[in-house]
Amino acid sequence: MVSTSLKLSEFIAGFWRLADWQTTRPLRRELIETYLSLGVSSMDHADIYGRYQCERLFGDVLREAPALRHQMEIISKCGIRPAIVGNPDRYVNHYDTSRDHIISSVEQSLSNLGTDYLDLLLIHRPDPLMNADEMAEAFYALRKAGKVRHFGVSNFTPSQFELVQSRLDFALQTNQVELSPLAMQVMHDGTLDQCQRLGIRPMAWSCLAGGALMSGTDERAARVRAVLTDIQQQTGADDLSQLVYAWVRMHPSRPLPIIGSGNAQRIKAALASSHIVLSRQQWFSIWQASMGHSVP
């Protein structure tokens, strides 16, 4: 089943740190408009980001400037329920992919975001207690109500993806996965192979490994950074982050990197990576530095 109906931008704007940036509403609007002006129209959220505050902060902008909604695709995720100190009903971190929780989470996200629908809903993490039939019921109910147009998953293995897909008569649109030179598991466990087979484009989170590629002091990060520095001299890239995004995007599953920055210059630098073409040997030099050995 090939998935082609949803069109996302080549880079995704990630807002998981929006609350941490402590910006004013005018500055948040300026950031969103900057992304849109640069061709980044897909906005990635999750109900839990910023301790449930990020969607509301984003939604404040849409309530002030509702015309912006029609220029973007809004993505959100649900299913993680963190413990809440002092709340005896939420005493342990857990997952909840029940029908009722998925529906109630979406309704809360819509209220927080100031929109009538999500372009894409993802199940944030695979749930050991996941009932695929019940999840499908939630998806069908939300789609029938017009509250969610497309569905996908996040951090799912190929077998977990196939289980959910087996209960649906429409195609899941993506699998949002961690992918960087320091997190390559999905390249080797069949996840990205599955994306190629199905013709879906994965979304890639933490491409810069949470900053470890730029400043990490462990041996592995240092090895990768040294190779990136050599390749920067060869290519004339402005900074190392551009090479990382180029490396991620070179995979034939055509990942869509998520940019988690509120800095306009860093956003522009990330987008400029689309003009960088690594040679196969440069790509494998980065892979080798991460693995600590050559290919077999």
Point out the residues that are catalytic.
49
Nearest residue to 202 (alpha-carbon basis) of 242, 181, 182, 173: 173
97 vs 147: CA distance, rounded Å:
17
CB-CB contact of 290 with 184 (8 Å): yes
CB atoms within 10 A of CB 90: 13
236 vs 198: CA distance, rounded Å:
36
DSSP string over 17-80:
THHHHT--HHHHHHHHHHHHHTT--EEE--TTHHHHTHHHHHHHHHHH-GGGGGG-EEEEEE-E
